[in-house]
A and B are shown apart, each in its own frame.
Chain A
Amino acid sequence: MSAPISAVPLEQAVWAALADVHDPEIPVISVVDLGVVRRVEVAPGRVRVELLPTFVGCPAVDLMRSAVEERLQGFAPDVEATVTFAEPWTSERITPEGRRRLRESGFGPPPPERPELSALDPAGSDTQPDRLLPLLPVGECPYCGSRATTLENGFGPTLCRAIYHCTACRQPFEQFKQV
Chain B
Amino acid sequence: MTATPAERRVTRASAVPDVPAFDTAGLDAPVREALAELLLTMADDEFVLGFWDSEWTGIAPMLEEDVAFSSLAQDELGHARVLYEMLAQLTGGDADAIAFGRPVDGYRHCRLLDHPRTDWAFSVARRWLYDTADAVRLGALRRSSFAPLAEVVAKIRREETYHLMHMDVWLRRLAGGGEEPRRRLEDALAKLWPDALSPFAPLAGEHALLEAGILGQPMAELAERHLAQATATLAGLGIALAGGRVTGSPPSTVDGRDRAVPAESFRWLWNEFTMVHRSEEGATW
- The residues of A with any CB-CB pair to B shorter than 8 Å are 53, 55-59, 61-63, 65-66, 70, 82-90, 117, 119-120, 122, 126-127, 129-130, 132-134, 136, 152-159, 162-163, 177, 179
Q: B74, B132, B143, B148: which contacts A57 (Cβ < 8 A)?
A: B74
- CB pair B68 A159 closer than 8 Å: no
Within the assembled complex, what's the spacing in Å between the Cα atoms of A120 and B152? 14
Within the assembled complex, what's the spacing in Å between the Cα atoms of A84 and B82? 11
- CB pair A154 B165 closer than 8 Å: yes
- CB pair B135 A85 closer than 8 Å: no
Shortest CB-to-CB span from A111 to chain B, Å, is 15
Q: Which residues of B contact A179 (CB under 8 A)?
A: 158-159, 161-162
* B255 on interface, CB distance cutoff 8 Å: no
Within the assembled complex, what's the spacing in Å between the Cα atoms of A35 and B217? 34
Within the assembled complex, what's the spacing in Å between the Cα atoms of A179 and B228? 27
Within the assembled complex, what's the spacing in Å between the Cα atoms of A173 and B9? 33
Within the assembled complex, what's the spacing in Å between the Cα atoms of A62 and B72? 20
Q: How large is the interface on B (under 10, 10 to 19, 20 to 34, 35 or more residues)?
A: 35 or more
B 100-141 binary contact with A (CB < 8 Å = 1; else 0): 000000000000000000000000000000001001100100
- CB pair A56 B12 closer than 8 Å: no
- CB pair A57 B13 closer than 8 Å: no
Q: Which residues of A contact B158 (CB under 8 A)?
A: 88, 90, 117, 120, 179
* B19 on interface, CB distance cutoff 8 Å: yes
- CB pair A56 B79 closer than 8 Å: yes
Shortest CB-to-CB span from B43 to chain A, Å, is 12
- CB pair B228 A157 closer than 8 Å: no
Residue among B12, B16, B158 with most chain A CB within 10 A: B158
- CB pair B68 A154 closer than 8 Å: yes
- CB pair B232 A129 closer than 8 Å: yes
Shortest CB-to-CB span from B99 to chain A, Å, is 13
Q: A82, A122, A163: which contacts B20 (Cβ < 8 A)?
A: A82
- CB pair B8 A85 closer than 8 Å: no
Question: 10 smallest A-B Cβ distances: which pairs?
Answer: A57-B78, A155-B71, A155-B68, A85-B151, A88-B155, A179-B158, A154-B162, A62-B13, A129-B229, A56-B78
Within the assembled complex, what's the spacing in Å between the Cα atoms of A101 and B132? 37
Given contacts A62-B12, A83-B20, A133-B165, 8 further A-B pairs with CB under 8 A are A55-B75, A56-B156, A57-B76, A62-B13, A85-B20, A132-B229, A152-B64, A155-B166
Q: Which residue of B lies closest to A179 (CB)?
A: B158
Shortest CB-to-CB span from A129 to chain B, Å, is 4
Within the assembled complex, what's the spacing in Å between the Cα atoms of A122 and B157? 12
Within the assembled complex, what's the spacing in Å between the Cα atoms of A66 and B82? 19
Q: Which residues of A contact B77 (CB under 8 A)?
A: 57
- CB pair A159 B71 closer than 8 Å: yes
Please report which residues of chain B, range 77-103, place their CB below 8 angstroms from some CB of chain A when the two chains form the complex.
Answer: 77-79, 81-82
Q: A57, A117, A157: which contacts B161 (Cβ < 8 A)?
A: A117
